[in-house]
């Protein structure tokens, strides 16, 4: 089993609230990722990081922001949640080599009312 954790697993929140989704891994992986996925739909990369103090935007434009202050921690923040942000958010990590397995966390299912 992969040592990558996400909290909370489920979150229901009102419009306009600020939220932070937590992601931590204990594998010492430099590469970390955030994906957004609606039920039955494809994965969309929204942010990634290849190391501390390095973050990049993914293919899908997102109003969220990320930070990477510690190797093991890659939180995602929404300053003002909206119903359009309702989705599943999956965090992943990977070793440095392109052949290294990418491991996913269990996901956070976010509902914004």
Partner 1 sequence: RKEVEQDPGPFNVPEGATVAFNCTYSNSASQSFFWYRQDCRKEPKLLMSVYSSGNEDGRFTAQLNRASQYISLLIRDSKLSDSATYLCVFNSGNTPLVFGKGTRLSVIA
Binding site for partner 1 (CB under 8 A): 33, 39, 41-43, 45, 48, 50, 58, 90, 94, 98-99, 101-107
Q: Compute the least distance from the CB of residue 84 to partner 1, in Å.
A: 21
Nearer to partner 1, 81 or 92 (CB): 92
Instruction: Tell me the Ramachandran region of residue 51: left when phi exceeds 0, alpha when psi lies from -120 to 50, beta otherwise.
Output: left
Nearer to partner 1, 31 or 85 (CB): 31
- Respond yes or no on whether the N-terminal peptide bond of residue 54 is cis (omega within 30° of 0): no
Nearer to partner 1, 17 or 44 (CB): 44
Q: Compute the least distance from the CB of residue 107 to partner 1, in Å.
A: 6
DSSP conformation letters of 20-59: EEEEEESS--SEEEEEEE-TTS--EEEEEEEETTEEEE-S
């Amino acid at each position: 089993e992969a040592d990558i954790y996400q909290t909370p697993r489920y979150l229901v929140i009102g419009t306009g609230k600020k939220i932070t989704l937590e992601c931590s891994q204990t594998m010492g992986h430099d590469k970390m990722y955030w994906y957004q996925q609606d039920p039955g739909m494809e994965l969309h990369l929204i942010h990634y990081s290849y190391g501390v103090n390095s973050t990049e935007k993914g293919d899908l434009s997102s109003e969220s922001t990320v930070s990477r202050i510690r190797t093991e921690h890659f939180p995602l923040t929404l300053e003002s949640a909206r119903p359009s942000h309702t989705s599943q958010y999956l965090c992943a990590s990977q070793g440095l080599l392109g052949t290294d397995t990418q491991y996913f966390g269990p996901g956070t299912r976010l509902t914004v009312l």
